Structure 1
Amino acid sequence: MKIRNFSIVAHIDHGKTTLSDRILEDTGTVAKRKMTAQLLDGMELEKERGITIKAKAVRIKYKDYELNLIDTPGHVDFSYEVARSLRACEGVLLLVDASQGVEAQTVAHAHLAQSLGLKVIPVMNKVDLSQSDADLSEEQLWEILREPILAERVSAKTGMGVDHLLERIVTDIPEPKGNPNGKPRALIFDSFYDPFRGVIIYVRMFDGSLKQGQTLRLMGGGLTSKIEEIGYMTPQLVKCGGLNMGEVGYIVAGIKDIHSVKVGDTVTLADNTADEPLPGYEETKPVVFASIFPIDSPDYPLLRTALEKLNLSDSSFSYQSEVSKALGFGFRLGFMGLLHIEIVKERLEREFNLSLIATSPNVVYHVKFTSKKSHPQELSALRDAGDGYKVIDNPAYFPPYGDIIDIKEPTITITIVTPVEFMDGVMTLLKEKRGTYLEMEHISNMRVIIKYIMPMAEMVIDFYNKLKSVSKGYASFDYELDEYRSSDVVLMEILIHGEPVDALSVVTHKDKAQTQGRALCEKLKELIGRQMFEIAVQARVNGKIVARETIPAMRKDVIAKCYGGDITRKRKLLEKQKEGKKRMKSIGSVDIPQEAFVAMLKIDQ
């Protein structure tokens, strides 16, 4: 069988999309007049940031072979999608920028490809640059792969070495294995929503065949639907009669709800159902949560419509309506990671012309608490996490501190690749972030791989910026979810004039609560203007005030009109002013400007 299914994996900005472009151009898959840079990255945001957000697939004709290039998202936030895309292949091109060497995601992708039993072809890119050192990068890669595999030397920008690479793909990557006459099984590795045709499903056939007119069945979700159209990508959709074992293509089956089509699910036939699904399927769960509010309250219906439309093309985020006393009506969103938050917020603002505030991101906690009837309705509606724990994704839903028995927070295994000279600074940072040392491995004399277990909440808050700062931009990191562990974390409420402000509540470690509370109070003192009465800004943890700042009252010069006369007259005016301020302080309310929330969310926490 002359089919080869492969993927290109690399660290961000190592030239993965550029190499895809060269392969498409050199094989004549896309005519030169239609060729554009970053062809597979169709989204404007993808082109700007130089990252792949949505996976793509394209069929390439090379000599008498059919090559299926299955593109993968390049960022760590989308690691589940990367794993699904790799399962649809028999081999990978492991791309390394020869001028930068091995990075953290190179390590993660290499180990993932090896664990899936894929044929790995190392490729050294950007060898035409004067600062590149392909030999050193290749040695580093050998240490990661634990075997010396000859690497291809290419320049994706100029096209140098791409012809030889294509030959290597044909000779080294094995042909697809499966039962061409068996019960059909196809792996879903991506899907997108077309407003006219419904959900378009990208699949790789593992067994049997699928044809137009047949009724498919999704083994994970149980959905059945008639196949209206079937074909392959060039990268445009090209209709054909059917897909056979080993082929990669798309299916249109009139499915209107994209949430019923999950990445990793198995497609089979309703009247000839496979005995078991393909392995590795799991429900993707959001790991980071943030609330999004419109800056102008009347834009709330527009935000709801925008989220509904965006969720059709990106089903990996979840959302539900939320009300904040401080910020009004908005939505609570669940994301795959920090970059995912940025992308969704930016797409909402750009594509739907909205001005939005996103609250500080926080992770999901598992909390065990006493079941008292006095608890509000929200607590009884929380999802179960097992062993008596409840899932809490919003600090506002934390039970009263006296009722909490135990809190578990999610941890991650973090892998950092850094030049040796920055090793001490990186390890000090990890220690500050409550990291636990696992192992260290030197790759060549110049680079080191450091592995730690760390609370995910510490990575969410400003970890990336600090890592780049201590390593002068040379360190890179990759992470994977580990497990939930009991921890001394507490809810810190911010009180303005004695009233808690829900949008500013944060979950922090007990040892850091006082320092963080003081920083938040100091910042708020600057941001909230002086009122006619004195205002207390306080941070409260477990019922105790751990930090306080006081915003002094404005003072009108009431005795300016007194040019002389008895001192008792002046004193009488001052006492009257004092009484007025005292009464105002007891009944007054503080209006917190929107700018204060925006600025608070940007401060270094």
Structure 2
Amino acid sequence: MGGWAPAPRPSDTRPREHVPTTTAPQPGHTDPAIIRNFCIIAHIDHGKSTLADRMLQLTGVVDERSARAQYLDRMDIERERGITIKSQAVRMPWTVPADNDAGAEPGTYVLNMIDTPGHVDFTYEVSRSLEACEAAVLLVDAAQGIEAQTLANLYLAMGADLQIIPVLNKIDLPSANPEKYAAELAGLVGCDPSEVLQVSAKTGAGVGALLNEIVRQTPAPVGDPDAPARALIFDSVYDTYRGVVTYVRVIDGSLTHRDRIKMMSTGATHEMLEIGVISPEQVKAGEIGVGEVGYLITGVKDVRQSRVGDTVTTQTHGATEALGGYKHPNPMVYAGLYPIDGDQFGDLREALEKLQLNDAALAYEPETSGALGFGFRCGFLGLLHMEITRDRLEREFDLDLISTAPNVVYHVTMEDGTEHEVTNPSEYPEGKIAEVREPVVRATILSPSEFIGTIMELCQGKRGNLLGMDYLSEDRVEMRYTLPMGEIVFDFFDQLKSRTKGYASLDYERSGEQAADLVKVDILLQGEPVDAFSAIVHKDAAYAYGVMMAGKLKELIPRQQFEVPIQAAIGARVIARENIRAIRKDVLAKCYGGDITRKRKLLEKQKEGKKRMKMVGRVEVPQEAFVAALSNDGAGSSIDKSKK
């Protein structure tokens, strides 16, 4: 009698050079000698997330049915913009065959990979990820070559003393020039061009060989399995149902399910409800040991209990010396965030607390605006960071927000010697000012050499000083400038891209302060200053800002029953003015002929009424006018720098 037989499975067409035949050892019982912790670093859009996708498929962690492009980019906003914002860690098994070209020791290994962001605003995410690794795959686009953020991330990895594995991606593109860029990359890293690996993350070519090379070149994690447990927190997220989920890298000892653990910076103790690894979803484990990257859940709802950079140890027989944490980033750009509905102020506070757990670079404190009500003054690492934060608050916490124009931090010294720190134009002191100091950045611009003159013209217009210039190759140049931070947080990036046809790339870092001729421009409605529209600008740009803002508000504010003057002023001196004409009711509509004196009497009466109303009336500025004026006053609220 014929038995039932399963239908033949369709052939698997995904690109692969080698499929592992054994499963990886379970967490906790893994010998540190077979663990390899590495991250992928690169400039924006050079293929980090696509390479991570191929690795997940090749190691069998993600099957064909659940596979999707940019698998590790979990947030909707990441997938929409095509950028990575949060680092993601994932554990993968990989079996090295005996006949591999890399010369790696055959066997089954555990690879812990961290996919990192590429944008300059998220450099802090990259620096945290590097602490959890022993090696970094430096990925460069074979059609575009080395970019500014490639250099910045390389220096971060070298500073963390990581093994650098140079890789060229996108070799399948018709415009790829692997020989030229392999020589460029080899000169940068200090190796032979033949040692630069060439892969195509899109087709999967060369990815298997890269994994073998990672096994060979990445040092195994070093730690004492018998010492008291010490694990470094490199990320945390808030889960509505499970509380704080903490991501750790175990340095010494091991952490076991149901252990009572202690956070060394706060001294808080908790019972461990769940422990495990990410592969690529959360997988429970009994314990995690030396070199493992995993997650902890303690059921804690207070987001302040799990700080990034803290050391986790056990409550009994725990470690006494904490691991070196991270240097806390200083915000470079400040802006006010206000709920459109004043009742959402408490919700905004709670949302910022939860977001700060996930994004340690975000700083905030409460503030009040006469025009916008109660809100928070928030510090960001850059404009894209500000934009992403606002987007996440609106999407993830269902808030409607207004953001004020971004500002940098100024230090003002008065003639009597007192000093003031100004993060908001409303804090700008009155009286005689001796000196104003503004933050400056050291910017690195990489561009084809044909655009040198254009870039110089742009930087000089932004009060920049050229520090030096080097040719990376015959047709690519690296230019170094000192620029005022206040000049580049607005439209500098956009102008740089448009003037160089999109070929230039920018990276910058904080580089101290300098004295500058800055003034505060107030916007007055009916003679009263509106703090939300004030700005601190260079004296030479004050007139242009005043004219632009007055003209914009004239279009946005509806006409009132009386004439409304809009003025831009520096101190007591008005530098620009526009008038909103009054709405005039036709009081003569019912006069059918008759004596002219009756008409004049009615018009005089109307004139007197308007005069009296102008003295006591208030200008109503609709919320929409604030949103429109503040969303695009040069800061470029909708600028998407991610793909440029």
TM over 0.5: yes
Distance 1:249 1:28 in 2: 19
Identify which of 483, 490, 498 aligns with 2:519.
490
Structure 2 residue 529 is the aligned partner of structure 1 residue 500: yes
Structure 2 residue 449 is the aligned partner of structure 1 residue 420: yes
Stretch deviating more after TM superposition (211-220 or 553-562)? 553-562
Residue 272 of structure 1, CA deviation:
4.2
Distance 2:304 2:475 in 1: 46
Distance 2:559 2:91 in 1: 65
Structure 2 residue 512 is the aligned partner of structure 1 residue 468: no
8 A Cα contact 1:258 1:315, kept in partner: no
Stretch deviating more after TM superposition (505-514 or 328-337)? 328-337
Tell me the SS of whatever aligns to 1:330: strand
Matches within 5 A, 1:559-598: 572-598=601-627
Structure 2 residue 378 is the aligned partner of structure 1 residue 349: no
- Between the two structures, name the one with larger relative contact order (CA 8 Å, sep ≥ 6): 2
Q: State the one-letter code of the partner of 2:537.
A: T
8 A Cα contact 1:81 1:263, kept in partner: no
**Alpha-carbon distance change, 321 to 47 in structure 1, aligned in 2, over 3 angstroms:** same
Structure 2 residue 87 is the aligned partner of structure 1 residue 77: no
Distance 1:273 1:479 in 2: 41
Could you say which residue in structure 2 is the equivalent of 1:325? Answer: 370
Number of matched residues? Answer: 589
Tell me the SS of whatever aligns to 1:238: strand
Tell me the SS of whatever aligns to 1:32: coil
**Alpha-carbon distance change, 550 to 196 in structure 1, aligned in 2, over 3 angstroms:** closer
Distance 1:367 1:509 in 2: 14
Residue 5 of structure 1, CA deviation:
0.9
Tell me the SS of whatever aligns to 2:275: strand
Could you say which residue in structure 1 is the equivalent of 2:53? Answer: 21
Could you say which residue in structure 1 is the equivalent of 2:289? Answer: 244
**Alpha-carbon distance change, 404 to 276 in structure 1, aligned in 2, over 3 angstroms:** farther
Identify which of 402, 416, 426 aligns with 1:396.
426
Identify which of 214, 228, 240 aligns with 1:169.
214
Could you say which residue in structure 2 is the equivalent of 1:211? Answer: 256
Residue 93 of structure 1, CA deviation:
0.8
Instruction: Render the CA deviation track for 1:335-393: whole Å, top value 9, x for unaligned.
Output: 3322222222222333344433221122233344589xxxxxxxxxxxxxxx9745432
Matches within 5 A, 1:128-147: 128-147=172-191
Distance 1:406 1:224 in 2: 49
Could you say which residue in structure 2 is the equivalent of 1:86? Answer: 130
Identify which of 302, 308, 323 aligns with 1:278.
323
Residue 167 of structure 1, CA deviation:
1.0
Identify which of 284, 290, 305 aligns with 1:260.
305
Instruction: Render the CA deviation track for 1:156-205: whole Å, top value 9, x for unaligned.
Output: 11111111111111111222233333343322211112334332221222
**Alpha-carbon distance change, 115 to 530 in structure 1, aligned in 2, over 3 angstroms:** same
Q: State the one-letter code of the partner of 1:71.
A: D
**Alpha-carbon distance change, 366 to 269 in structure 1, aligned in 2, over 3 angstroms:** farther
**Alpha-carbon distance change, 6 to 388 in structure 1, aligned in 2, over 3 angstroms:** farther
| RMSD between superposed Cα atoms in Å | 2.7
8 A Cα contact 1:6 1:68, kept in partner: yes
8 A Cα contact 2:303 2:353, kept in partner: no
Residue 456 of structure 1, CA deviation:
1.7
Identify which of 71, 87, 90 aligns with 1:39.
71
Distance 2:243 2:591 in 1: 79
Could you say which residue in structure 2 is the equivalent of 1:98? Answer: 142
Structure 2 residue 21 is the aligned partner of structure 1 residue 2: no
Could you say which residue in structure 2 is the equivalent of 1:374? Answer: none
Matches within 5 A, 1:147-158: 147-148=191-192, 150-158=195-203
**Alpha-carbon distance change, 146 to 487 in structure 1, aligned in 2, over 3 angstroms:** farther
Distance 1:261 1:302 in 2: 21
Structure 2 residue 240 is the aligned partner of structure 1 residue 192: no
Distance 1:526 1:200 in 2: 49
**Alpha-carbon distance change, 131 to 537 in structure 1, aligned in 2, over 3 angstroms:** same
Tell me the SS of whatever aligns to 1:503: helix
Distance 1:565 1:230 in 2: 93
Distance 2:606 2:182 in 1: 78
Instruction: Render the CA deviation track for 1:522-561: whole Å, top value 9, x for unaligned.
Output: 2222222333322221112233222222233344565677
Identify which of 442, 445, 448 aligns with 2:471.
442
Stretch deviating more after TM superposition (183-192 or 469-478)? 183-192
What TM-score, normalized by structure 2, do the two folds share? 0.84
Residue 54 of structure 1, CA deviation:
1.6
Distance 1:25 1:43 in 2: 20
Tell me the SS of whatever aligns to 1:158: coil
Could you say which residue in structure 1 is the equivalent of 2:633? Answer: 603
Identify which of 241, 266, 270 aligns with 1:225.
270
**Alpha-carbon distance change, 240 to 352 in structure 1, aligned in 2, over 3 angstroms:** closer
**Structure 1, unaligned stretches of length 5 or more?**
372-386
What TM-score, normalized by structure 1, do the two folds share? 0.90
Q: State the one-letter code of the partner of 1:603.
A: D
Instruction: Render the CA deviation track for 1:390-423: whole Å, top value 9, x for unaligned.
Output: 54322222222x1655433222222111122222
Distance 2:239 2:428 in 1: 40
Residue 285 of structure 1, CA deviation:
3.8
Stretch deviating more after TM superposition (266-275 or 196-205)? 266-275
Structure 2 residue 85 is the aligned partner of structure 1 residue 53: yes
**Structure 2, unaligned stretches of length 5 or more?**
1-32, 96-107, 636-644
Tell me the SS of whatever aligns to 2:65: helix
Distance 1:272 1:433 in 2: 58
Distance 1:568 1:194 in 2: 76
Distance 2:44 2:533 in 1: 33
Residue 223 of structure 1, CA deviation:
3.3
**Alpha-carbon distance change, 257 to 282 in structure 1, aligned in 2, over 3 angstroms:** farther
Distance 2:266 2:444 in 1: 34
Residue 273 of structure 1, CA deviation:
4.8
Q: State the one-letter code of the partner of 1:472.
A: K
8 A Cα contact 1:367 1:389, kept in partner: yes
Tell me the SS of whatever aligns to 1:582: helix
Could you say which residue in structure 2 is the equivalent of 1:512? Answer: 541
Tell me the SS of whatever aligns to 1:362: coil
Distance 1:492 1:366 in 2: 17
Could you say which residue in structure 1 is the equivalent of 2:461? Answer: 432
Could you say which residue in structure 2 is the equivalent of 1:288? Answer: 333
